[in-house]
């Protein structure tokens, strides 16, 4: 025990609990004020403790575009020729065109509920849908940011909002397309957006507001420099090198590849998170690892959009940090993101246990710990079950057949590879039990609201 067991505390008891140093037995965890106030191992439960068989720390979801949840499965029909990321994007632009702040809020609330039910307890919302239809600014430039904060509040998920600076349609400051009008800001407008987002964040217990230049396609070199000066101390996220066309266009513009260019022209350090970073040379991969930045990997979306595979082994060997994100939210499932990250490597390398960091190590265990540490760093808040950190905890049903008689790392491996979200029982976020028996407490109402919105948007 490391701290006092105050009177207002609530205590959870776990027979098996994943702590920062590994699995522990018979652990009491005291929660107060939304945080973990004490952890005690190898002890008997008290009569008043709430007992559970097995718990894990909640996982950060470091990259989401919540509104895209509403179009899951609607871009899977073959078009006239050569379907690609870019044809998917046209469908996405059409879907977003009609959305109001209330629509965004309802869709995001359901997406966040699904995240919580799958074991994600904080979301990095990479948010660029700022304006009303036709690009008309709302009276409060952060109206949409407020709508997302409201969804986080209703669902209870931890929120790291990443307001996006989006100004151009291609490298070298190309003018935006009409379909991008709702995203467009200059740096002055962006500064006002950050102020507004900071204001909205105060309505949540532990929201973080970071910053995000959308991509090297969408901001100029000068804007990137201005943004860096403006957002000192905040987490910075950027999409990068996701598609081969993007690499080729960057080479044509600058003579450098995107990651190479960014590392040369921005002060990329541990505050940065590079989303995707799929297409890198070995030298770029090692340089990214050495920068201390987190690689934000979104395996389900990257598979869905036909992006390619991140060079995991070179990156990990160089000491790189990574986390996972649900990005387009075509499917929301924490265990499946981790599983697919490993399976992509197995399928292409014809090998097994690629992500385990040494002989005898557990692949599920190393994936879980890696994505937890990298994701928490990228979202600007601590992660894991330790005194002082947010009480964000997931319990598993050890009676699930895929978890039968598992202990220690075999629990993590069997959760990631054998059971997935069907084994999740309860989820606590900021100390509140939001999910029981795998179901979020406002799931039914959120689904009714979601149906009403989708009926109109899809009509
Ligand atoms: C996005 N999504 O901002 O939603 C992007 C597509 C773009 C992914 N990159 C748009 N997965 O990159 O231009
Ligand atoms: Zn994205």
Domains held by the chain: number: 1
**Mutation probe of ligand 1 site: the residue of 65, 278, 304, 308 with most atoms within 8 A of C-beta:** 65
Q: What is the pLDDT along the chain (459 residues), one digit of tens a residue?
A: 334 444 457 999 999 999 999 999 999 999 999 999 999 999 999 999 999 999 999 999 999 999 999 999 999 999 999 999 999 999 999 999 999 999 999 999 999 999 999 999 999 999 999 999 999 999 999 999 999 999 999 999 999 999 999 999 999 999 999 999 999 999 999 999 999 999 999 999 999 999 999 999 999 999 999 999 999 999 999 999 999 999 999 999 999 999 999 999 999 999 999 999 999 999 999 999 999 999 999 999 999 999 999 999 999 999 999 999 999 999 999 999 999 999 999 999 999 999 999 999 999 999 999 999 999 999 999 999 999 999 999 999 999 999 999 999 999 999 999 999 999 999 999 999 999 999 999 999 999 999 999 999 998
pTM (whole model) above 0.85: yes
Residue 382 CA to residue 116 CA, distance in Å, equals 18
425 occurs within a structural domain: yes
Asked if 282 contacts 276 with a C-beta cutoff of 8 angstroms, the reply is no
| pLDDT tens per residue across span 12-53 | 999 999 999 999 999 999 999 999 999 999 999 999 999 999
* Number of alpha carbons in the 13 Å side-chain half-sphere of residue 243: 16
Q: Would you state the structure tokens that stand for residue 438, as one six-digit string?
A: 């795998």
Please report where in the chains the tokens 């905890």 appear, as a residue.
393
The residue contributing the CA closest to ligand 1 atom 4 is 65
Ligand 1 atom nearest to CA at 65: 4
Q: Which helix (H) or strand (E) holds 35?
A: strand 35-40
CATH of the domain at 18: 2.30.40.10
- What's the pLDDT at 459? 80
The residue contributing the CA closest to ligand 1 atom 1 is 65
339 occurs within a structural domain: no
User: How far apart are the CA of 290 and the centre of ligand 2, in A?
Assistant: 23
Three-class SS of 193-248: HHHHHHHHHCCCCCCEECEEECECCCCCHHHHHHHHHHCCCCCEEEEECCCHHHHH
Catalytic residue among 103, 327, 333, 409: 327
Residue 174 CA to residue 168 CA, distance in Å, equals 5
The residue contributing the CA closest to ligand 1 atom 10 is 89
Asked if 454 contacts 70 with a C-beta cutoff of 8 angstroms, the reply is yes
185 occurs within a structural domain: no
Catalytic residue among 276, 279, 430, 440: 276
Please report where in the chains the tokens 């309802």 appear, as a residue.
106
Ligand closest to Cα of 168 equals: 1
Residues near 94 by beta carbon (within 8 Å), at least 6 away in sequence: 179
User: How far apart are the CA of 238 and the centre of ligand 2, in A?
Assistant: 8
User: How far apart are the CA of 387 and the centre of ligand 2, in A?
Assistant: 33
27 occurs within a structural domain: yes
Measured in degrees and rounded to the nearest 5, phi and psi for residue 216 equal: -70, -15
- Catalytic residue flag (residue 276): yes
396 occurs within a structural domain: yes
- What's the pLDDT at 316? 98
Ligand 1 atom nearest to CA at 214: 3
Q: 35 lies in which domain range?
A: 9-57+385-445
Helix 282-291 and helix 258-265, axial crossing angle in degrees, nearest 10? 40
Ligand closest to Cα of 67 equals: 1
Is residue 292 classed as helix, strand or coil in its secondary structure? coil
- Catalytic residue flag (residue 16): no
30 occurs within a structural domain: yes
Asked if 289 contacts 339 with a C-beta cutoff of 8 angstroms, the reply is no
Residue 100 CA to residue 97 CA, distance in Å, equals 9
- What's the pLDDT at 9? 78
415 occurs within a structural domain: yes
Measured in degrees and rounded to the nearest 5, phi and psi for residue 128 equal: -125, 0
Ligand 1 atom nearest to CA at 239: 9
418 occurs within a structural domain: yes
**Mutation probe of ligand 1 site: the residue of 85, 239, 243 with most atoms within 8 A of C-beta:** 239
Asked if 449 contacts 106 with a C-beta cutoff of 8 angstroms, the reply is yes
């Amino acid at each position: 025990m490391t701290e006092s067991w105050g009177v207002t505390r609530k205590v959870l008891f776990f027979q098996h609990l994943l702590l920062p140093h590994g699995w522990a037995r018979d652990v009491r965890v005291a929660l107060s004020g939304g945080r973990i106030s004490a952890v005690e191992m190898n002890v008997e439960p008290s009569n008043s403790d709430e007992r559970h068989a097995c718990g894990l720390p909640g996982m950060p979801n470091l990259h989401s575009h919540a509104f895209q949840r509403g179009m899951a499965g609607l871009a899977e029909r073959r078009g006239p020729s050569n379907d690609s990321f870019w044809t998917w994007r046209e469908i996405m632009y059409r879907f977003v065109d009609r959305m109001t702040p209330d629509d965004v809020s309802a869709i995001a609330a359901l997406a966040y509920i699904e995240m919580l039910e799958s074991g994600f307890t904080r979301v990095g919302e990479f948010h660029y849908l700022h304006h009303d239809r036709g690009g008309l600014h709302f009276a409060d430039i952060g109206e949409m940011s407020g709508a997302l904060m409201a969804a986080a509040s209703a669902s209870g998920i931890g929120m790291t909002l990443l307001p996006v600076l989006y100004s151009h349609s291609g490298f070298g400051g190309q003018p935006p397309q009409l379909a991008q009008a709702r995203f467009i800001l200059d740096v002055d407008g962006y500064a006002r957006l950050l102020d507004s987002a900071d204001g909205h964040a105060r309505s949540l217990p532990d929201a973080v507001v970071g910053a995000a230049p959308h991509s090297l396609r969408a901001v100029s070199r000068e804007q990137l420099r201005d943004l860096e000066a403006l957002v000192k101390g905040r987490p910075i996220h950027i999409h990068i090198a996701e598609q081969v066309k993007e690499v080729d266009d960057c080479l044509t513009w600058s003579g450098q590849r995107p990651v190479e260019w960014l590392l040369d022209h921005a002060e990329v350090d541990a505050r940065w998170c590079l989303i995707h970073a799929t297409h890198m040379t070995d030298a770029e991969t090692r340089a990214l690892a050495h920068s201390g930045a987190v690689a934000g990997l979104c395996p389900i979306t990257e598979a869905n959009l036909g992006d390619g595979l991140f060079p995991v082994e070179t990156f990990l060997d160089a000491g790189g940090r990574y986390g996972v994100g649900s990005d387009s939210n075509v499917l929301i499932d924490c265990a499946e993101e981790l599983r697919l990250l490993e399976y992509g490597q197995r399928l292409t390398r014809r090998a097994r246990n690629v992500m385990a960091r040494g002989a005898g190590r557990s692949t599920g265990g190393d994936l879980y710990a890696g994505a937890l540490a990298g994701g928490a760093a990228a979202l600007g808040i601590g992660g894991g079950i330790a005194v002082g950190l947010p009480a964000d905890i997931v319990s598993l049903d050890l009676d699930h057949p895929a978890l039968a008689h598992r202990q220690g790392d075999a629990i993590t491996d069997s959760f990631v590879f054998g059971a997935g979200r069907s084994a999740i029982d309860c989820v606590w976020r900021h100390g509140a039990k939001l999910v029981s028996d795998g179901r979020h407490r406002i799931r039914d109402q959120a689904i009714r609201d979601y149906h009403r919105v989708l009926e109109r948007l899809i009509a």
